[in-house]
Chain A
Amino acid sequence: MFKRFLISCDKATTICDKSQYKEATFFELIQLNLHLVFCKFCGLYSKQNTKLSEICKQKALDSKQKSQCLSTKEKELLKQQLKEINSN
């Protein structure tokens, strides 16, 4: 019974990754937190993972603000190519 709560570092860090997206289940969170009690490496991983998420969040905000486009020249070229194919 108790064995179900004991997980490897690999499992723990995978759950930790999931929890970064708030997608870990309640049971997984119990497993993770129990593991974190006695594993300082995974504790550090958790901490850094959170930081990584923060930086990603910033990037996500950035990328939502800018949208990229093709240049007018490339579009014109594409138009010509389309026309050629269409007329064949």
Chain B
Amino acid sequence: MSENQIVLNPDEWIDKYADYLFNYAITRVNDYDLAKDLVQETFFAGLKSAKNFEGKASEKTWLVSILKRKVIDHYRKINSIKGQAEVKMNFYENGENEGSWIEERVPQSWDNETEKSIENDELKKQLEHCINQLPQKYAIVFRMKTIQEIETEEICKELDITASNLWVMIHRARTQLRKCMEDNWFKK
């Protein structure tokens, strides 16, 4: 019996791991209901494949690895809606605006007043609002990189994308965020 030291205890899963898993999920997808669903699916999948559990990793690590897969699956799903190719396309590549600022995207000077209110909660709220306006796949990558401050390499591994892919998405996210912040905050 000694070689099978780690035994699964599904009855205790919720009490022991629900909070951790939920927190993991919500910091990635930033949606309460979706995070709840992912955690639920993780527990169900865990039960289903409990007999495949070899006891090589701890119960927690094992459940997290299932949740990770669920997050990737979700990410793939939203990513494939418009197709991967779109992500690789360059932001400015088409048309006559190639390689230069399009007029509407040219930055306007932001008022210095804002420097004082950098601590302002309103500003953070506005940012949150702007991030939510982003296409979901950009928002996920941007949040992981900027708010959760996860290493590039780890994000690439977790979401199964290349580093250059990640930077294109970060670039697009930041370009849109900049515009959104300008329109909704700094111009007012």
- Point out residues on A near B: beta carbons under 8 Å: 8-10, 13-14, 17-18, 20-21, 23, 41, 44-45, 47-49, 51-56, 58-60, 62-63, 67-70, 74-75, 78-79, 81-83, 85-86
Contact = CB atoms under 8 A, between A and B. Distances in A.
Contact of A55 (B14, B19, B118, B148): B118
Contacts of B181: 48, 52
A61 to B, nearest CB: 10
Query: How many B residues are at the interface, by size bracket?
Result: 35 or more
Binding site secondary structure of chain A: helix
A78 B14 contact: yes
Contacts, number: 115
B178 A45 contact: yes
A54 to B, nearest CB: 6
Interface of B: 10-11, 13-15, 18-19, 22-23, 26-27, 32, 36, 39-40, 43-44, 47, 90-92, 98-101, 106-107, 109-110, 114, 118-119, 123-124, 127-128, 145-149, 152, 167-168, 170-171, 174-175, 177-178, 181-182
